[in-house]
Structure 1
Amino acid sequence: MTASLSSQSNVEPAAFPVLIEHEARYADLDPSRRIGRDALVRWFEDARVAVERETFGADLVARLQSRVRLLLAAVRVEVLAPLTVAGSYRIGIGVSQVGTTSFTYRYAVFAGDDLVATGESTSVHTDGERPAPLTDEVRASLEPLRIGVPASGRPERGEARLVRENYPFRWDARVRFTDLDTNRHVNNVALAAWYLDGLAELHADVLGYPVGGPLDGLSPSTLSVQYLDEVHYPGIYQLRVGVEDIGEDTVRYVCGLFDERRCIGFAEAEGFHHAPGEGGDPVRLAEALAPFRFKA
């Protein structure tokens, strides 16, 4: 796997061809009073849509007339420092890789000149049914956005991750009408939030379902999602969670989203397995999470 953007300590706003001012909203906050991971996925979507509108006219009319058909295949977010609702941020966006049918954006969130979060997403060009080669027009439009930062890679896709029973923990997700986007299927941000909800349900189960939910410090600092198929309304889907690895301080989770037995998406996440309790003493979950090991 190539080095992530966050590993480069000298990354500055000037490294990105496009910088977008973004005000934090109260609705972006999670229970920790910080900007939530799903909110950052939405920020990246806002930046991506703005860039595509300006770059090759990928507005709603263009999409409906089939001039540009792009579907999100994967997204990743990594929080490097707490993001608060106070102040404004700048989102840097550039294209790090262009393939035959897809291309990859890299994102960076700056508070002043300080890098506080990074991200990545892969968009696939389709003919309406399957991946299709990028047109020369789209390729030419992407060139001014190129940035010399390698892609960090998608979540590992192995046969074991496609098997529903390999994930010990189950949470059922019911699609809400408000989860849908203009393509009439569940939006990528809503799906990212489902994985975060699944992890929170696991933590709450281990903690005994405390009032107000699990401890703030247990939220993952990284989340990588890969979308395999569309999720439709109405419907109830199974989200499965397993613990892949437990280290000295952190835990790595794997998640799968299933329509019956068919895997339609999966994710990886990493965060701490301990956090300060209400009395100030740390609450440690490593031992309690061990029975939820992913059955590789």
Structure 2
Amino acid sequence: MTATITTPTVPEPGMFPVLIEHEARYADLDPSRRIGRDALVRWFEDARVAVERDTFGADLVARLQSRVRLLLAAIRVDVLAPLRVTGSYRIGVGVSHVGTTSFSYRYAVFAGDECVATGESTSVHTDGDAPTPLTDEVRGALTTLRIEAPAPVRPERGDARTVRENYPFRWDVRTRFTDLDTNRHVNNVALASWYLDGLAELHSDVLGYPEGGPLDGLSPSTLSVQYLAEVHYPGIYQMRVAVTEIGEDTVRYVCGLFHDRELIGLAEAEGFHHAPGEDGDPVLLAEKLAPFRFRD
């Protein structure tokens, strides 16, 4: 019988059946000199791939021979405290939900015993064309990694979010060959960075395109991405960004990735709408972001 592990609101290292040592790299830093959100998406990918290789043999050979084919459907990252390049981190991994054709992970990043970031993801088992039931072997292996945690909650899609023109801000993205992974479509980490770039483009537009990009502190602390369809090379895609809510200190965004008029990716993010300027005084963006509200 497998023991059930309870995950509290703020995880602790002992709550996870797998803990993976992970060294931060200089390349993981963003302009704020902290570990970037897209780097955390890659850390979670590295942890996920390592767990699947060791647990049910989902190594590259098995994937290429289509014995095990998993596609990422969604991922979420929440930054709780600054992550810096000095020192090492541990990534906790556990399975929070097992469905018919999909399963979900919970992640936590620890600096010592302090939880500095959390995340979750959902992977879909596929035959190459459509979702297919998890094999008994995979299902049994996942059971050994179970933790007690709620299943991930996906952002609302709704009909309004499928309409390209409802997002006021537009940014065109050209796929690069280096964005591709072994499945020969754009990798989930690259796609996550597209949404972060879209938000940075919006911030730069509001700020007047300052040299060096938008201010530190405007990067979202939370990013949640749904991968709705494969993104290919070569191709030019349209990123659309809108503001959904402006609070006292924070702002929420929704981003849609479109191929022509088809919605193929969706993201939500939340961050501050103010940050220190070069003179130390805060730069307030709430009023300037208001014209970019989502149109529904």
**Alpha-carbon deviation of 1:149?**
1.4
Please state if 1:136 is matched with 2:136: yes
Deviation string, structure 1 residues 51-92 (Cα, Å, up to 9, x no partner): 000011101110111110100000000000000000000000
Separation in 2, partners of 1:116, 1:154: 22
How far apart are the structure 2 equivalents of 1:49 and 1:232?
22
| Unaligned 5+ runs, structure 2 | 1-5
**CA distance in structure 1 between the aligned counterparts of 2:71 and 2:59, rounded to whole angstroms:** 14
- How far apart in 2 are the matches of 1:130 and 1:223? 27
DSSP 3-state at the match of 2:186: coil
Conserved 8 A contact 1:22-1:90: yes
Q: CA deviation at 1:152?
A: 3.5
Is the contact between residue 250 and residue 271 of structure 1 (CA under 8 Å) also seen in structure 2?
A: yes
What are the Cα deviations for residues 137-159 of structure 1, in whole angstroms up to 9, with x where unaligned? 11001011001111241111111
Which position in structure 1 is the counterpart of 2:126? 126
- Correspondence 1:61-76 to 2 at 5 A: 61-76=61-76
Q: How far is the alpha carbon of 1:244 from its aligned partner?
A: 0.3
Match in the other structure for 2:106: 106
Q: Is the 8 A contact 1:106 1:151 kept in 2?
A: no
Over 3 Å counting, the alpha-carbon distance change for 1:65 and 1:259 in structure 2 is same
Q: Partner letter of residue 157 of structure 1? A: R
Question: Superposition pairs for residues 201-212 of structure 1, below 5 Å?
Answer: 201-212=201-212
- Counterpart for residue 182 of structure 2: 182
Q: Any conservation in 2 of the 1:243–1:293 contact (CA below 8 Å)? A: yes
What TM-score does the superposition give when structure 1 sets the normalisation length?
A: 0.97
Partner residue in 1 for 2:214:
214
What is the match of residue 93 of structure 1?
A: 93
Q: In structure 2, give the amino acid aligned to 1:136.
A: D
Report whether the alignment pairs 1:22 with 2:22: yes
| Post-superposition offset of 1:278 | 0.5
Cα separation, 1, equivalents of 2:262 and 2:28: 32
Q: Any idea what SS the aligned residue of 2:240 has?
A: strand
Q: For 1:210, give the aligned amino acid.
A: P
Once residues 181 and 223 of structure 1 are traced to their aligned partners in structure 2, the CA distance between those partners, rounded to angstroms, is 21
Q: Which residue of 2 aligns with 1:276?
A: 276
Report the counterpart of residue 147 of structure 1 in structure 2: 147
Is the CA contact 1:173–1:237 (under 8 Å) kept in the aligned structure 2?
Answer: yes
Q: Which residue of 2 aligns with 1:158?
A: 158
Contact 1:73 1:123 in 2 (8 A): yes
Q: What is aligned with 1:80?
A: 80
Alpha-carbon offset, residue 130 of structure 1: 0.3
Deviation at 1:6, TM superposition (A): 9.7
Render the CA deviation track for 1:195-236: whole Å, top value 9, x for unaligned.
000000000000000000000110000000000000000011
Separation in 2, partners of 1:274, 1:44: 29
Question: 1:85 and 1:208 mapped to 2: Cα distance?
Answer: 30
Q: State the AA in 1 paired with 2:108.
A: A
Change (3 A) 1:219 1:54: same
Number of the residue aligned with 1:34: 34
Equivalence for 1:247: 247
The DSSP-based 3-state class of the residue aligned with 2:144 is helix
Normalising by structure 2, we get a TM-score of 0.97
Code of the residue aligned with 1:89 in structure 2: it is: Y
Match of 2:59 in 1: 59
Q: How many residues align?
A: 291
Q: Alignment identity in percent?
A: 82
One-letter code of the match for 1:25? R
Unaligned runs of 5+ in 1: none
The one-letter code of the counterpart of 2:284 is: R
Partners of 2:177 and 2:87 lie apart in 1 by: 33
**Does the 8 Å contact 1:70/1:124 carry over to 2?**
yes
State whether structure 2 residue 9 is matched by structure 1 residue 8: yes
* Local SS of the residue matching 2:256: strand
**C-alpha RMSD over aligned residues:** 1.1
Once the two structures are superposed, what CA deviation does each residue of 1:134-190 show, in whole Å capped at 9, x if it has no partner? 111110010110011112411111111111000000000110000000000000000
8 A contact 2:7–2:149 mirrored in 1: no
